[in-house]
Amino acid sequence: MDLQQTSIGLELGSTRIKAVLIGPDFTVLAQGDHPWENKLEDGYWTYSLEDVWGGVQAAWAALAADVQNRLGQPLTTTGCLGISAMMHGYLPFDRDGNQLAAFRTWRNTTTGPAAEKLSALFGCNIPQRWSIAHLYQAVLNGEEHLQRLDFLTTLAGYVHWRLTGQKVLGVGDASGMFPLQNGQYDPAMLAAFGELTKDQPWKLSDILPAPLPAGAAAGNLTAVGARLLDPTGVLRPGLSLCPPEGDAGTGMTATNSVHPGTGNISAGTSIFSMVVLDKPLSRGYPEIDMVTTPDGAPVAMIHCNNCTNELNAWASLFGELLTAAGTPMDAGKLFTLLFQISLSADAGAGSLLLVNYLSGEGVTHFDAGCPLLVRGPKAALSLANFMRAQIYSSFATLCLGMELLRTEQVNMERMTGHGGLFKTPGVTQKYLAAAIGTPVTCMQTAGEGGPYGMALLAAYAKEPDGTLPEFLAGRVFADAVSTTEQPDETIAAGFAEFLQNYKQALRVERTAVEVL
């Protein structure tokens, strides 16, 4: 195999760092991953930079081992490499490259005053997790490190910077730092923010990474960068990198959802929908972010902090029981079994109510979370109903946000699901189609998600002929194998009942957060 004809996508997700190598026909040739978890330290959800590099190196080593095993050769180079990671958050550095504050991830809900003031100032929604909200909250807090601030970026931008020396970012990821206009940071909003922070020793436009569209050249792997990825020295420096992107952009790419009327739903630790717009919304909504595709098209994004955490916790508990009973089960098989059991549940999940908030939730305006299982005396508690309620709960808050897109009559011809929640065929896909009233498609790469999408963006940068939508539809997904579930009326009625009760249960959730 000529490795110059391959592309690699490496994504730092919420619970896994994963690297994927694809060939010239865009099929996956090898992959490697490494699990990791965020920590709540000093009031912030965070990952240490030591864990970032330890995890990146472990994922790269696993990829290299898989390449050696499958292709019979060392991983010395690739045609193009792309770095992706969780969007938003706060990673500040001084002029010498020293980290000034702990990485504050998208999961934090500590920037309420800043987000509220900036939303009013800019006339558009600035969510709490956006980088600019974190920065301005640090200003409001009077944090000392701002006196030495020289560069602010996202996790993907940070890793790319260390590998190449280039302070750049894909436009999709950049649009979650600060609002864009025509692919660049909005000049009027930059001026307004500059007036708001005129006493600071820095200018915002000087400390943000430069936005780049999909297909642009974004630097080359330095000798230092090569050693950061592969301390063994097998990887050679010099290979090209594409613009680093956020996980939302890679999800759109991995599902061929970059042209108007299409959208995708990414479901893992968090869950979010991305709908590419063919016309502007009539007004701004605090529940909807306006971001872009990797090539700069406008996107309505509904992001929820909580998705599979609680479901994963209960599956782990059931796994412990099976192990204690002497019948241990592989996690993948256990999830498949539990999901399939849910198909025999009552359409309304037996009136069980589960609120899966481990952390705060912007769509429903929670600054903290407390997972709940609530049932009345007439609720039907069974394993099938319990699992149906778990799955419903994982996307209930997203559906509350998507109701707003319905009121705007946003064109949604097709939604594509990807991420871990869709790995079991014909279950979550079926429920979600009924819940949002739109056909939901899953491709064979549904479980791969972002790393595969990042590899595709790297492949596009290697040969950027035509537009990104043309490249994906015409070359990558022309013969893609997929399944589509149409909305089922019975499930839709059951989910509507669940969602109505879920709204009421959020009152209980608020009390739980206050008390616990």
Q: For residue 466, which phi and psi values (nearest 5 degrees)?
A: 80, 180
pLDDT at 269: 84
**Stretch 310-327: mean pLDDT, rounded?**
96
Output the pTM of the full model. Answer: 0.85
The token pair that represents 454 in the structure block: 């990042």
Tokens read off for 351: 């009136």
Burial class (CB in 10 A: 0-12, 13-18, 19+), 34: buried
Question: How deeply is 508 buried, as exposed, middle or buried, from its count of CB atoms within 10 A (0-12, 13-18, 19+)?
Answer: middle
Task: Check residue 367 and give its pLDDT.
Answer: 86
- Binning pLDDT at 50, 70 and 90, where does residue 445 land? low
pLDDT at position 447 over 80 = no
Q: What tokens were used for 465?
A: 């002929």
DSSP string covering 41-75, please? ETTEEE--HHHHHHHHHHHHHHHHHHHHHHHSS--
pLDDT category, 158, cuts 50, 70, 90? very high
pLDDT, tens digit, 9 for 90 and up, residues 33-54: 999 999 999 999 999 999 999 9
**Strand-pair partners of 152:** 92
Question: For 345-473, where are the alpha helices, taking DSSP H only?
Answer: 383-407, 428-436, 450-462, 468-471
Q: Tell whether the model's pLDDT for residue 449 goes beyond 80.
A: no
What does the pLDDT read at residue 423? 84
Report the pLDDT averaged over residues 186-208. 97
What one-letter code names the amino acid at 486? Q
Q: What mean pLDDT comes out for the span 507-512? A: 95
Kindly give the residue spans of alpha helices, DSSP state H, lying in 102-203.
112-122, 131-141, 155-164, 171-174, 187-196
How many Å from the N-terminal Cα to the C-terminal Cα in the chain?
Answer: 57
pLDDT of residue 174: 98
- Residue 507 pLDDT more than 70? yes
Taken as a whole, the chain contains a residue count of 516
pLDDT in tens, 355-410: 999 988 989 989 899 999 999 999 999 999 999 999 999 999 999 999 999 999 99
What average pLDDT does range 306-327 have in this prediction?
96
Q: What is the mean pLDDT of residues 102-113?
A: 93
Return the pLDDT at 401.
92
Cβ-in-10-Å burial (0-12, 13-18, 19+) of 2 comes to exposed
Mean pLDDT within 251-256: 90
The amino acid sitting at 258 is V
Structural domains of the chain ordered from first start = 3-247 (3.30.420.40), 248-305+410-485 (3.30.420.40), 309-400+489-515 (no CATH)
Q: Calculate the CA 383 to chain-centre distance.
A: 30
pLDDT bracket for residue 327 (50, 70, 90): very high
Q: What percent of the chain has pLDDT over 70?
A: 99
pLDDT score for 358: 92
The C-alpha atoms of residue 433 and residue 456 are separated, in whole angstroms, by 27
Q: How confident is the model at residue 413 (pLDDT cuts 50, 70, 90)?
A: confident
What are the backbone angles phi and psi of residue 245, rounded to the nearest 5°? -125, 165
What is the percent of the chain where pLDDT is above 90?
87
Residue 3 has pLDDT above 90, yes or no: yes
**173: closest CA among 149, 197, 156?**
156
Average pLDDT value over all residues in the chain: 94
Confidence category of residue 448, pLDDT binned at 50, 70, 90: low
**pLDDT tens readout for residues 261-304:** 899 998 888 898 999 999 889 988 888 999 999 999 999 999 99
Q: Provide the pLDDT confidence category of residue 420 given band limits of 50, 70 and 90.
A: confident
